[in-house]
Each structure stands twice: as structure tokens, then as C-alpha cells.
Amino acid sequence: MGSLLEVKDVKRSFGSLRALDEVTLNVDEKTVTILIGPNGSGKTTLINVITGLQKPDEGHIYYGSTEITGWSPQQIYRTGIARTFQIPSMFGKLTVLENLLVAEKNHPGESFTKSLVRRLWAKHERDAVEKASKILQLLGLSEQSDMSASLLSGGQMKLVEIGRALMSDANLYLLDEPVSGVNPTLAHEIFARIIGLREQYGITFFIVEHRLDIALQYVDYVNAMASGRLIAAGPPEQVISDPKVIEAYLGA
């Protein structure tokens, strides 16, 4: 198994705050890796930097053998990296189904000239609706599919976030706290689905998550950050027994 995502010596500062301080980590192909760390330790910034929403000040990011440092978010999305957001960010006035459909890649109906003739995009749209409906079914959101997304509960919005990411057929998913605010049963289900997707399609997941009680039993690797630095990486048992991690994050 090679590494699918490689972050090398990445630095990013906001004024005098060092959000990322020489972070280096690997995410191996077809694994589920979580990233833990106290609030403000730079986890979300790392995801933003990987997905192109923020540019790193220094360092390199590789996706497979391709360097993607400094690429725009849309280039990164098209190359096969999809993400979700920590604070659920819906397209509030669109329906749940439409929220997923927006994520469809290379939809001919999004081009102005092709949008003029329904025949040129109707089939693609039908397929996309079918794909989206299947994903909603998977996430247990079929009944909400025609609801406006802003009316969903926080937990349901989390699911729509994941659903939207799944529409992209990406190889690497960066999920920012996918189960925060989700009830324990559903949270377990979400992680079980993640494992299922990994087994079935060989998808790789890199997940920021605080709820170790739920997440740990499902994941292959754990990375721990504190104050913008990576302080530990390895199999779950090893990382959570690491004194540095206990001091910075887990508490005595």
C-alpha cells in the first residue's frame, strides 16, 4: 500500500498565530485515518490547506505522485479529493436532493450553451438523480429529499455533507467531524458505512473527529496534533497511550 496523500513540512500562519507548524503526515491508500487534537490545534486549517481553500505558506502536498500544492479548490476536487465541513454548510434554499446534485462532476447541464437544450443534459440528470437517491437512501434521508436543506436538523445536515461528498466519486475523502452532533446509533452506522465504502470501493478516508469512543474501533491509523504540530502518528492503541497525546488531548 502506497501513500495516497502526503503532507510535507507544511506551514501556515495567520498573523502571529502558527496554525500549522511543519506538519508532515501520510495517509495510506485504502485506509481510514483519523486526526485528533485539542480545539485550535490546526486540524481544520490542515484540511483547508489540503483542499486548496487556503494556501500553505511553505511545504508540499502530494496526491499520489502529483504535487497539488497551491492548486485551486476546483482542480483539487476534480482530481479526486472531496471534503465535508465541520459546521454543516448547506445550500439552504435548495432541496436536500439538489444539494447532492450540485456536487455532480462534469454535468453537461451546467454549461450555458448545453443548458439551453434539455435533451443534451436530461439523461445525465436522470442518472445523477438516481445516484443521489441511492446515497440518500444509504444515509437514511430519502424522506427528506424534497425538503429545503435549511430545515434539516444539525445531525441530518452532517449526513447531507457526507452525501454531497459521496456524489463526487472521489478517491480520498476528508471529513471534518462527520459525527459531531449525530446520535450514537447513527454515528456508529456512519462509521460502519465508511468502512463498507473502503472495503467495497477502496476509498481512502482522512477524518477529523473528537468522538474517540465511537471512532477508534473503526480506524486503522490515528494522527494527533497539538498547537499546529503533529505530535504522534500510528495505530490507535499506540497513539492513545502516547504520553504527549495524553497530556495535550486526552487528559490524565
Partner 1 sequence: MTPLDQVILFVVDLSALLAVYLIINVGLNVQEGITGIPNFGIVFAVAGGAYITGGLSTRIAVSLLGTQTNLDPIFDNISVLQLVNPILRSQPPTAIALLILFLIIGGIAGALMGLISSAPAVRLREDYLAITLLAFGEILNVIGIGYKPLIGGPIGVNVPDIFGWAGQYRFYAGTLVLLLVATAIFAYAGYLIKTPLGRTLKAIRDNETVARSLGKDITQYRTVSILLGSTLCGIGGSLWVLYSGAVTPTYARFDWTFLPWLMILLGGMGSSRGVLVGTVIFVALNKLIIYYKHAFVGILPFDIVWLNYILLGLITILILIYRPEGIVREKWTAPKQNLSAADKEVKAG
CB 229 within 8 A of CB 235: no
98 binds partner 1 (CB under 8 A): yes
* Minimum CB distance to partner 1, residue 196 (Å): 16
Of 55, 123, 134, 244, the one binding partner 1 (CB under 8 A) is 134
Segment 189 to 248, residues that bind partner 1, using CB under 8 A:
none
* Total residues in contact with partner 1, by rule CB under 8 A: 47
As beta bridge partners, residue 13 has 18
Is 74 a residue that touches partner 1 (CB under 8 A)?
yes
CA–CA gap between residue 170 and residue 205 (Å, rounded)? 10
Among 3, 18, 30, 94, binds partner 1 (CB under 8 A): 94
Tell me if 4 sits within 8 A of 203, measured CB to CB: no
126 binds partner 1 (CB under 8 A): yes
Q: Which amino acid is at 212?
A: L
Stretch that binds partner 1, among 12-20, 131-139, 197-205, 222-230 (CB under 8 A): 131-139
- Closest contact distance (angstroms) between CB of 75 and partner 1 is 8
β pairing state of 58-63 and 66-67: antiparallel
Other C-beta atoms closer than 10 Å to the C-beta of 120 total: 14
The three cell numbers locating residue 237: 492503541
Instruction: Provide the minimum distance between the beta carbon of 223 and partner 1 in the complex, in angstroms, as a whole number.
Output: 21
Q: Using the structure block, give the residue that is written with the C-alpha cell 504527549.
A: 244
**Interacting residue with partner 1 among 1, 15, 16, 93 (CB under 8 A):** 93
> The sheet that has 58-63: what strands, in order across it?
17-28, 3-14, 58-63, 66-67
Four-CA torsion 199, 200, 204, 206, nearest 10 degrees: -70
- Interface characters, 50-69, with partner 1 (x: CB under 8 A): -x-x----------------
144 contributes a contact to partner 1 by CB under 8 A: no
* Nearest residue to 191 via CA among 48, 46, 34, 47: 34
Write out the residues near partner 1 by the rule CB under 8 A: 51, 53, 72-74, 77-78, 82-83, 85, 89-95, 97-99, 101-105, 107-112, 115, 118, 121, 125-126, 129-130, 133-134, 137, 142, 145-146, 148, 164, 168
